[in-house]
Structure 1
Amino acid sequence: MATVLGSGLAMLDSTVVNVALPHIGHDLSADLAGLQWTSTGYTLTLAALILLGGSLGDRYGRRKVFLIGVVWFAVASALCGVAPSMPVLIAARLLQGVGGALLTPGSLALIQSTYHPDDRARAIGAWSGLGGVATAIGPFVGGWLVDAASWRFVFYLNLPLAAAVVIVALRYVPESRDTTAQGFDIPGAVLGALGLAGITYALVEAPEKGGSPVVLGAAVAGVLALVAFVLVERRSRHPMMPPDLFRSTTFSAVNAVTFMVYAALGGMIFFLVLQLQTVSGFSALAAGIALLPFTVLMLLLSATSGSIAQKIGPRPQLIIGPLVAAVGALLLLRVGPDANYWTDVLPGVLLVGLGMTTLVAPLTSTVLAAVATRHAGVASGVNNAVARAASLLAVAALPLVAGLSGAAYKQPTAFSHGYRIAMVVCAGLFLLGTVLSALLVRRPAEVPTERVPERHVCCEVSGPPIEVGRPAGTARSEPAGTSAD
């Protein structure tokens, strides 16, 4: 309950806010850049700090850092709810992302460290499924709150949920930590955040400010920070994004596919929700419900997709999935003035949902299979960060590509033209995912082999196992409540 509600906070917030964007813009007199920052501010700090958040939990206690993240997230949500202006709202959204970066990795790590191995798979399955429910109901709840009360209640909703998490976690969740955890990659975290921030600022502000010194300076500073990030990661003793992982062709290829697919998805959802409300005349609730089939498909069919990938290998689904999603994005070009949900919206949403359902499970399993087991946690975190960074950059860049700026989202004709350009670009990004999968992903996925030093090898003999290399007279250490073979 604690981990599902905790991770559900982050999932819910990333969906409900999109539905509320037009109302936020109207109430706070925001331009399109303000709406972009409302969406990207949260994703920026979350993507930049999520790997550091996992490391902090391992070192100082997973429950402690998880709870700090939940409380931080709740306080930032309250600030969002009372924000009197766009600058205050954007600053609060940045703070929300920091809280999300602390609680998100801790939610799964707590299950991994607390449950017995025999029960762990079922616990993770419940966590994943119920987390999917939180994502599914997000647009519906957000739309209802916006129409029935105010967009501010989208943020107030987090407060009782966070209180429930704190109460349950303090009473029932044991503390755990990694006693072998090493140092932190603070320089890497700072440079990664600065790099993403600089590039995002340049992309968001370029439509209004053009090639001004501030925009160009931010772009150059962002690129230099990311270059420095790569150099620091190569020299760091404890890198947050170990360069060795990318020596695997499969790992690099699948993360490239992840970037393309999630950039397309993030940009598509941002534009579709605005198009439905600004151009098609949908209410916030109707716009939220319009996206519901997408999430329901992922919730119901993801496990089946994973089973199929296990039998036939990931490559076919990584090729077909983005291709189906690309067709769905092109079908969404039909969404315009007086759009009919059943004929203009639903077919595209269903195909994008089917495409993502087809590819997400094999995408995740291939990332984990492409690295050594000891790197599984870091590999999953890197893939998560890549997905969020892709969505961040897509929402920042697509309005520039589509020629939208200022109050264009309030002008149906101008926004509809930009929407069509954005949907074509999103379809192209999905197709790039298909091409990369076809060219670079092979079956079976390469799994690095590790040479185990002889002093750690266990020799099987008739009788108790002999552990070679253990000093004479030392006892085998067992966790409390377990027994040795």
Structure 2
Amino acid sequence: MTSPVQHAPARRLAARLRTRRAARGRGWTARQWAALFCVLSGYVVGTLTASGTAISLPSISAELQAGPAAMQWFVTGYLLATTCLVLIAGALGDRFGRRLVLRVAACVYTAGIAISAIAPTIVLLNVARISAGVGSAGLMACGAAVLTTSFTGSDRVKAFALCGAAGGIGMAIGPSAAGWIVDAVGWRGTFGVLAAASLLMVASTFLIKETRAEKPRPFDLLGAGMLIVGLSLLLLGISTMTSGNTAVGGGQLVGAAVVLTLFIVRALRVSAPLLELSLLRDRITSAWLISAVMATAGMTGFTVYLPTYLLVVHGLNAAAAGTWMLAFTIPLFVVPMIVSRWVNRGGSAPKIAAGCLTLAATAYLTFALLATVGEVWVALIPTAALGFAIGSLTALSDAQLMSRIDHDRIGMASGLLNTMRSGATSIVLALFGAGLVVAIAARVGPQTADRLATGDVAAISESVAVDGFGHGWTLVLAGNGVLMLAAAAAFVGLILAGRRQAERAAA
């Protein structure tokens, strides 16, 4: 006869198996699927809109007889509206309802895209694009807030990982898919197709559960105005500086610094500011905010200029460069689900994130060393490692950050995350591009540098092109590596400080 003690391990194993079967059989509700579908649709449509817009610029300019200034606003207006309003949209969601703001934002976005398809003039097209940017702000802020309130625990990690995978898929096939659509139906037809797809996003909002803050706060209208002015000056200053007008751009950046400093000072003094900086008192929350921002900003310049590097230094054509970039993009949509399962099975999210920030830094520094050495395939390993690192950070960071926010401030936190993400991405991209041109110019002169940075190698000897661009690429990648190392150090330091903070609070 066996004793109860001998049966104990078997009983524990059976209990674990029953728990896993129950969890697998529980499934998600229709409201949860609707929330996930809405957010995933936003990712896909947003990616195709961005790619289709970039591909269609020459056709739009020719058909509507638009000059450079008008076309610049076509690109910049959308970004300005989105970045300046995303924090405001999150605050409105907390006060009036996250589903409500998400639905209104989806309607405004869809209307903006639809009007873009029929706009007879560049002025109306720019107004429509700015309207779509307003809608995009609400989608970004309240999309993450709705996911946070719709899912809990391991389901939340999985849902955010699916969004990360969708972003990776969009990056991998978005340009090609947008190119096919534009070739098939033209730029107006492309906006029409995307508007029709966006209607599904609008419809899904009617199934999502409504949530709002239990104790709504008064809306900080003055703070909202200061934020809009400050961020507008910041983005315009970056754009103006990169176009070569340093005097005006510098003045805009100084103005942005003054206004945003006043915004922060005011937020520390008033009772109900647009942004409660107390969110950042939790060191672990701050650590995950850094991780989430760097997951996007840290790869921006690399992904934009990598095809040009492959063209100039290694002589690859566009098709070959696109295929080569799969080494980076495939991990972006494969890794998130693997990492989410690992964390849900007991893996340490902070250790994974710290390791991946360090891996990204190592990949950049390794690629910098190999930029002009050997065959092009040598750089596939650091490129794939970077894709693995960014994919892992994308899978973890948003879910870990939002899980630490109390219910009443979820929209505010989502708005803060996306504001910092958009701002940091714009700054890093501008610095990456400017740094690349300056570093190339140090080798081959400013005129040749401007041409090489855009991939124009006509009448430039191969040795000069490879030496100049390779030198610039090495330096900017090394800078990215140092930036990611600093982010890794800050992340680890804040995690450790947060744990000590929690231990003192418990004592």
TM-score range, shorter chain: 0.7 to 0.9
* Matching residue of 1:466: none
The 2-side partners of 1:174 and 1:369 are apart by: 18
The 2-side partners of 1:112 and 1:367 are apart by: 10
CA offset digits 1:254-303 (Å, max 9, x no partner): 43455455322222222235555786322496477564313223333231
Q: CA deviation at 1:71?
A: 1.7
* Matching residue of 1:397: 431
Name structure 1 gaps, 5 residues minimum: 452-485
Q: Residue 146 of structure 1 is aligned with which of 179, 185, 190?
A: 179
* Matching residue of 1:237: 271
The 1-side partners of 2:481 and 2:192 are apart by: 35
Contact 1:254 1:366 in 2 (8 A): yes
* Matching residue of 2:419: 385
* Matching residue of 1:434: 488
The 2-side partners of 1:39 and 1:7 are apart by: 23
Within 5 A, what are the aligned runs for 1:18-417? 19=51, 23-24=55-56, 26-27=58-59, 28=61, 42-79=78-115, 92-110=128-146, 120-121=152-153, 124=156, 127-139=159-171, 140-147=173-180, 149-150=182-183, 152=187, 155-170=191-206, 172-173=207-208, 175-178=210-213, 180-212=215-247, 214-273=248-307, 275=309, 280-283=316-319, 286=323, 289=326, 291-307=328-344, 311-312=347-348, 314=350, 316-332=351-367, 343=377, 346-360=380-394, 363-364=397-398, 367=401, 378-403=412-437, 408-412=453-457, 413=465
Task: Return the letter of the residue paired with 1:247.
Answer: R
C-alpha distance 182-376 of structure 1, shift in aligned 2 (>3 A): closer
Contact 1:293 1:353 in 2 (8 A): yes
Q: CA deviation at 1:146?
A: 0.7
- Higher mean displacement: 226-235 or 144-153: 144-153
Contact 1:2 1:165 in 2 (8 A): no
CA offset digits 1:374-408 (Å, max 9, x no partner): 65664454334322321122223322222279775
C-alpha distance 43-361 of structure 1, shift in aligned 2 (>3 A): same
Contact 1:47 1:388 in 2 (8 A): yes
The 2-side partners of 1:335 and 1:294 are apart by: 21
SS in 2 for 1:145: helix
Contact 2:363 2:386 in 1 (8 A): yes
C-alpha distance 330-266 of structure 1, shift in aligned 2 (>3 A): same
Contact 2:296 2:425 in 1 (8 A): yes
The 2-side partners of 1:125 and 1:442 are apart by: 22
CA offset digits 1:11-63 (Å, max 9, x no partner): 23554466557634554489999999777654443333223212222333333
The 2-side partners of 1:84 and 1:397 are apart by: 36
SS in 2 for 1:220: helix
Task: Return the letter of the residue paired with 1:240.
Answer: L
CA offset digits 1:129-152 (Å, max 9, x no partner): 543453233231431331463483
- Give the alignment's TM-score, normalised by structure 1: 0.74
- Give the alignment's TM-score, normalised by structure 2: 0.71
Q: CA deviation at 1:323?
A: 1.8
Q: CA deviation at 1:181?
A: 1.3
Contact 1:199 1:218 in 2 (8 A): yes
SS in 2 for 1:442: helix
Name structure 2 gaps, 5 residues minimum: 1-32, 439-448, 458-464
The 2-side partners of 1:135 and 1:378 are apart by: 23
Contact 1:251 1:367 in 2 (8 A): yes
| Residue correspondences, number | 441
Q: Please report the RMSD computed on the Cα atoms of aligned residues, expressed in angstroms.
A: 4.3
- Higher mean displacement: 22-31 or 124-133: 22-31
Task: Return the letter of the residue paired with 1:72.
Answer: V
Q: CA deviation at 1:211?
A: 2.6
Q: CA deviation at 1:9?
A: 4.1
The 1-side partners of 2:83 and 2:344 are apart by: 29
Aligned sequence identity (%): 20
C-alpha distance 323-423 of structure 1, shift in aligned 2 (>3 A): same
CA offset digits 1:243-264 (Å, max 9, x no partner): 2223334444543455455322
SS in 2 for 1:241: coil
CA offset digits 1:396-427 (Å, max 9, x no partner): 33222222797752524477765554333322
C-alpha distance 239-379 of structure 1, shift in aligned 2 (>3 A): same
C-alpha distance 133-181 of structure 1, shift in aligned 2 (>3 A): same
